[in-house]
Chain A
C-alpha cells in the first residue's frame, strides 16, 4: 500500500512539473508605431490583451517604412494579433499559415478573422432605447462595405422592437439623394437616423454637416458609430473601449486556435458612450446624474 501511495505522489509531482515547465505559446501583438495621442489607443488595446491572455505577450512595433516580409520573419509565435492598417498588411501575409486576428480597423468579412471597429448594433440599439426611448424606427444608409453589419442589425432591431429601414446606395450621389428624400418625408416622427462607419453614407465633409443641420431643424435623433460625431451634434456616438477590445481579440484568437474555423469578423461589442447634452436638451431629453455618470464623454465640455 505504501508503494501505491508513493507512486501516486510521484505521478502528481511529475504532472505538476510538466504544467509548470510547459507554458502556453506566447502571442505576438503586431501594431504600428505612431505618435501621441494615437499611440495611447494601441497601448490600451495591448494592455487588455495582456490582462486577458494566459500566455506571454510579445510586441512587435511596425515603423513608418516597414517591410511586411521582414516583420513576418520576426514573428516566432503561432498566434498573432495584428492591429491597425500596418498590422493588417502583416496579417495578409500569414493568415493562411497560422491563427491571426485583426483589430483596430473597421474590417468586414474578407477572409481574415478579427474584431471590427464597427460597433455592434445591439449595443447601439440598447443605448438608443436608454437615451431616446420613444424612437421606434431607425433609418440607416449603407454601402456594400457595411452591408455585413446591417444584416446583423436587422435581426437585433427586431429583437428590440425597432423597425430598421435600411437603404442601400452605391455612391455618394445616391446617398445624398436618399437622405434628401428621407428629410422630405413628413412621417419622421419617432424616427432616428443611424450614421454607420461608412465613408460614403457618413461622409464627414459632405453628408454629416447637412444631416446634423437638418436633424436639428426637424428635431430628429441622429446617432453614430463614429466616435467624433457626438461632438459635432449627434445625440450619441459609440467610442471603442480599447482595453475590452484587446480582451475580445484574445478570446477570438483562442477560439480560432483551438480548432480550424472559417474566418470570423465580429462587430465591436465593447463600446463606451459619448453624448451631446446640448442636442439632448434641444430634443427634449434630460438625463439625471445617475445616467450621466455612465457616459464616457459628454459635449459640450
Chain B
C-alpha cells in the first residue's frame, strides 16, 4: 500500500519539482558530509600543529636550562623561563632536577592539577585534558656530533659523558585550539549553507529552463485531447524532448491523413449509394410501368 501511495504521491508532482528536490537534498547531504570530514581533518591538523609548537617550546626550554641546572643556580634559568612564559598559550613552566624535585617554576598551574612523576626519555604529553597539555622533556647533556670531515681533527678519547640532568615541563593551554576549532566549524557551516542555497537557486533556474519545453509539450497534448484537434507541438529543447515532440507531431500527421482518408472514403460511399439508389429507383419505376401495361 505504501508503495502505491508513494507512486500516487509522485504522480501528483511535476518532474521538475521532483528533480529539484532530489538534487537539492543530495547536495545538502553531500555538503554536510564534506563539511564534517573537512572539519575533522582541519581540527586534527590544527591540533598536531599546536602540539608540535608546544613540543618545540618545551625542548627549547630544556636546551637553555642545561647550564642553569648544571650550575645549580636557578637565576641562570630566569631569562629562559620568562621567554617561555611570554608565549600566550603557556600557562606554566617548570624545571625539575633529575630526582623530580622542582628547580624553578613560573606561571600558575591549573586547579586540581595532579603532579605525576613520570620520567621520560623523549618529549611526551604526560597529561591531556580538555583544557591543556602537560608536556615534559628530559634536560640532557649531549655529546656533540662532529661532521665526517670535522671528526678527523678530533681525538676520540676526549668526549662528554651523556646524561639526563633534569626535566623541563610546560603546561600548554588548549584555549586557542578550541577557538580555532569553533571558528573552523562555524566557517564550514556558513560556507556550506550559503553553497546549498546558491546551488538550489542555480538549479531551480537551470532546471526551469530545461523542463520548459517538456511542459509546453504536455500542454499541447492536453489541449489536443480537450479540443480533439490535431494540434502540432513546437519542437525545441533537449534531445529527448525534441524526439518526443517530433514523434507526437508525426502521430498527429498520421491521424490527419487517416481522417482525410476516412472522409474521402465516406464521400465515395455516399456517391456510390446515391448512384445505386438512382439505379434502384429507375429499376422500380421501370418495373411499375411494366406492370401497369399488363393490367386488363
Contacts and interface: CB of A to CB of B under 8 A. Distances in A.
B155 A34 contact: no
A206 B67 contact: yes
B118 interface: no
A84 B73 contact: no
A9 B152 CA distance: 55
A38 B73 contact: no
A259 interface: no
Contacts of A206: 66-67, 70, 141
A205 B62 CA distance: 13
B148 A203 contact: no
A41 B154 CA distance: 14
A104 B67 contact: no
B97 to A, nearest CB: 12
A173 interface: yes
B71 A105 contact: no
Interface string B2-34: 000000000000000000000000000000000
A85 B144 contact: no
A85 B70 contact: no
Given A34-B149, A203-B144, A205-B144, A177 B154 contact: no
Interface string B129-150: 0000000000001101000111
Nearest to B66: A206
A257 B72 CA distance: 52
A105 B156 CA distance: 11
B151 interface: yes
B160 A199 contact: yes
Classify the secondary structure of A's interface with B: mixed
A176 B150 CA distance: 25
Given A35-B149, A205-B142, A106 B155 contact: yes
B149 A85 contact: no
A104 B153 contact: yes
A284 to B, nearest CB: 25
B152 A177 contact: no
B70 A176 contact: yes
A71 B155 CA distance: 20
B148 A34 contact: yes
**Could you say which interface size class chain B belongs to?**
20 to 34
A107 interface: yes
Contacts of A167: none
B141 A38 contact: no
A263 to B, nearest CB: 16
A270 to B, nearest CB: 16
Contacts of A104: 152-153
Nearest to B71: A180
Given A145-B158, A203-B160, A210 B67 contact: yes
A117 interface: yes
A85 B152 contact: yes
A38 B152 CA distance: 9
Contact of A200 (B71, B148, B160): B160
Interface in A175-215: 176-177, 179-180, 198-200, 203-207, 210
Contacts of A38: 149-150, 152-153
B47 to A, nearest CB: 32
Contacts of A179: 71
A85 B71 contact: no
B76 interface: yes
A171 interface: yes
Contacts of B153: 38, 41, 84-85, 104-106, 117
A171 B149 contact: no
Contacts of B67: 176, 206-207, 210
B293 interface: no
Nearest to A89: B156
11 contacts: A104-B153, A106-B154, A106-B158, A117-B153, A172-B70, A173-B165, A199-B158, A199-B159, A203-B160, A205-B144, A206-B66
Given A85-B155, A145-B158, A176-B71, 5 more contacts: A105-B155, A179-B71, A180-B73, A206-B70, A206-B141
